[in-house]
Amino acid sequence: QVQLVESGGGLVQAGGSLRLSCAPSGRTLSNYAMGWFRQAPGKEREFVAAISWSGGSTYYEDSVKGRFTIFRDNAKNTVYLQMNSLKPEDTAVYYCAASRYGSGYNLTPYEYDYWGQGTQVTVSS
């Protein structure tokens, strides 16, 4: 069983930046594609970004393209989500997830095997 732990969330003003990190306990992530999802109150969990096991392919939800960057450091066994130019509508609990489907083109929650507990991101206007 893989347990994922997110960190880096917090409160930031609109236009600011945050970097989220995700690291596993007890297992390497190097063979897994990774993704970030978010869930705002009263809304369904939505895809944000994904990355292949090698880091060579990345995918983004349209509203975050050009503002968010997903990347991974397999030597550190950590995946990151760099979030710039944050907007109030980015406010949500952010979750990282690991998928056995290594291509990274995993855009729905059903394609992921392991999840973190989530970290809150709040963007004030």
Residue 18 CB neighbour total at 10 angstroms: 20
pLDDT tens-digit readout, 96-122: 999 998 887 889 999 999 999 999 999
pLDDT band for position 1 (cuts 50, 70, 90): confident
The pair of three-digit structure tokens given for residue 46, joined into one six-digit string: 């939505």
Instruction: Determine contact, residues 20/9, Cβ cutoff 8 Å.
Output: yes
Q: What is the pLDDT of residue 59?
A: 97
Give me the half-sphere count of Cα atoms (radius 13 Å) on the Cβ side of residue 60. 13
Q: What is the pLDDT of residue 34?
A: 96
SS3 letters across 10-26: EEEECCCCEEEEEEEEC
pLDDT tens-digit readout, 11-53: 999 999 999 999 998 788 888 999 999 999 999 999 999 999 9
